[in-house]
Amino acid sequence: MYQEHAQRILDLLNKNASRGVITATEAAQAVQLLEQEVALSKLHPEVEADHATHTHAHTLPDEGETPEIAERNHVAFAQRAYPLLEMLRTARDQGADIIWGV
């Protein structure tokens, strides 16, 4: 995951993007927080689209690309969060820590 995409998630979890740990104990709370954020992003797609436009330059139309194609290529927050959410659930269930940037 690119840092710019991970940053929103890691900010929510109060973690540093370059180096950090989510302990097995923290994973349960992290799953809950991330599930809530995913649910909110689905309830308010207009906020999601605005956030993506302002923070993710690659979602803007490329040269020769119509706005409709750029919109179709947009990856929603829920889609970006899904792999980490699954990893957090596994860490929680198996009592494992998640470590990055070491």
Reported as a single tens digit per residue, the pLDDT across 1-21 is 677 778 889 999 999 988 999
pTM: 0.70
Name the residue type at position 87. M
What six digits make up the tokens of 32? 């809950």
What six digits make up the tokens of 55? 């923070």
Instruction: Round to whole Å and give the CA distance between 84 and 98.
Output: 10
Give the per-residue pLDDT at 91. Answer: 97
Q: Is the dihedral of CA 78, 79, 80, 86 positive or negative?
A: positive
Query: Which residues are CB-neighbours of 52 under 8 A, at least 6 positions away?
Result: 59, 74, 77
What six digits make up the tokens of 40? 């909110």
Q: Where are the domains of the chain?
A: 3-100
Instruction: Summarize the confidence of residues 48-57 as an average pLDDT.
Output: 50
